[in-house]
Amino acid sequence: MSVNRAQRVDLEVVADLIPPNSRVLDVGSGDGLLLELLQETKQVDGRGLELSQRGVNECVARGLSVIQGDADTDLEFYADQGFDFVVLSQTLQATRNPKVVLDQLLRIGNRAIVSFPNFGHWRVRFSLLIKGRMPVTKDLPYSWYDTPNIHFCTIRDFVNLCEELGATVEKATALDANGQKIGLSMPWWFWNFFGQQAVFLLKR
């Protein structure tokens, strides 16, 4: 498990943003790694929503509070401000309507935490510009025809969407190819070029 966690540095970054004993909804909770991490280290009251039934059944068998559901259709059933934090990690780009999903996150959670792969990273740009091919990288290992990721965005695109939805960026972190945080004082264009992943803390 620690191996898996090492591969998902963004989870640690997300966990760092959440104070102990919070109520947390993890949308796209997958194999439950983040929920488990948060329960162990922050004693949160954590819930998960996950598309894959297999993932859900495994989580429940491990004692996590997870339901099967689709971020695109099932978030509307959650009450306003029902959670301190709603987390969407590495899932936004796979939703059919990211704008609606993000709007729901901001409605359900006092704060929303969103992590996503940055399509503005230089490797992606390089692949398209020089090779003329859709990028296939370590973080984005799918080919164009079998990818579940249908709505990629860059860090700048995401910041624009937040503005459109009236969300305030309380904190943003970009991770480079080695999973290291990029220095805080760097301008957006720098993050957008060198950040492979981004983690945003939002409030509305």
Q: Give, in order, the Cα–Cα distances in Å from 28 to each of 48, 136, 158.
A: 7, 22, 19
Contact with another protein (CB under 8 A) among 3, 79, 129, 130: 79
Contact with another protein (CB under 8 A) among 17, 60, 100, 136: 60
Per DSSP, 128 falls in state I
Dihedral, CA of residue 4, residue 148, residue 118 and residue 173, to nearest 10: -50
Pick 10 or 31: Cβ nearer another protein:
31
Per DSSP, 180 falls in state P
Position 67 contacts another protein (CB under 8 A): yes
Position 68 contacts another protein (CB under 8 A): yes
Position 57 contacts another protein (CB under 8 A): yes
Q: Sign of dihedral through CA atoms 43, 61, 115, 3? A: positive
Distance, CA of 137 to CA of 121 (rounded, Å)? 11
Least distance in Å: CB of 47 to another protein? 7
Pick 47 or 121: Cβ nearer another protein:
47
Least distance in Å: CB of 21 to another protein? 14
Pick 12 or 84: Cβ nearer another protein:
84
Position 165 contacts another protein (CB under 8 A): no
**Rounded (5°) CA angle 176-179-181:** 65
Tokens matching residue 9: 């540095």
Residues in touch with another protein (CB under 8 A): 45, 47, 53, 56-57, 59-69, 74, 77-79, 82
